[in-house]
Amino acid sequence: MAFNGFTEETFQFFRDIKENNYKEWFEANKEVFIKEVQTPFKELIAMLSPSMYNIDAQFELRPYKVLSRIYRDTRFSKNKDPYKTCLWMSFLVPSTEWENIPGYFMELSADHYLYGMGLFAPKKKTMDNLRDSIAYDAEEFQAKTQLILDKGFSVQGEEYKRLIPNELPEYFQTWIQRKSLYVMKEKPIGKEVYSEKFAKVIAEEFESLQWLYHFLKDE
């Protein structure tokens, strides 16, 4: 599956579904969705798969498993729109406790894309163990993660309302005072997304997070 870049029709579809989020419109434009959104996304996943396998051979790599669905689950949501207005991929190790293992992601919408890696809904024990591991070898953690920050990634995740007491320097507080933890970049849609080279860009960015991925996974 050769990825040749997304097209202007990809982003027009995302713009259109924001204004026409109902079944009749989607069914009339389903072929556009398949051709301009779903298919290139699956091709991109296939192109990334060798790099992701090298990061972790346990990753789920089948494109239909990695790619999110366009259909929203509205059962427990006040928003009853049936369709998502963005699509994303997520590389994870299959697990019944997915919330406690790190994963990679990339999301695409009408006007921006974002990507990164981390823990999104970990249990408290997972984060407690993570803080202990950071403190155990704080010097190496800072050296390795500073390289990630220097590449333009930012530290994200829900923060604790009440700070957790610790003796670590200020650098570490943005990493440890969180209920969830991930690093991310967000960019406006640019010419890079229309090229086959976009796959190489994302692969290299994901590879730059490999040390942190294994650090998080080992907790």
Query: Tell me, what CATH number does 13's domain have?
Result: 3.30.930.20
Q: Are 106 and 88 in contact (CB under 8 A)?
A: yes
Domain membership of residue 66 (yes or no) is yes
Write down the pLDDT at residue 20: 97
Cα–Cα distance list, 197 to 114, 158, 200, 201 (Å)? 17, 33, 5, 6
| Structural domain total, the chain | 1
Beta strand spans in the chain (E): 87-91, 103-108, 112-119, 154-156, 181-188
The confidence score (pLDDT) of residue 21 equals: 97
Its domain, for residue 161, covers 8-217
Q: Is residue 181 part of a domain?
A: yes
Q: Does residue 1 lie in a domain region?
A: no
Q: Is residue 148 part of a domain?
A: yes
What pLDDT is attached to residue 99? 82
pLDDT at 74 (0 to 100): 83
At residue 104, the pLDDT reads: 98
| Residue 203, amino acid | A
Q: Output the pLDDT for position 27.
A: 97
- Please give the pLDDT value at position 97: 81
The confidence score (pLDDT) of residue 78 equals: 83
Closest CA to 2 of 43, 41, 30: 43
Q: Which of these, 120, 130, 111, 128, lies nearest to 92 by C-alpha position?
A: 120
Asked if residue 147 is part of any domain, the answer here is yes
Residue 3 lies in a domain: no
* In a domain? residue 156: yes
The torsion of the CA quartet 33, 36, 37, 41, rounded to 10 degrees, works out to 140
Residues of the chain falling short of pLDDT 70: 219
At residue 63, the pLDDT reads: 96
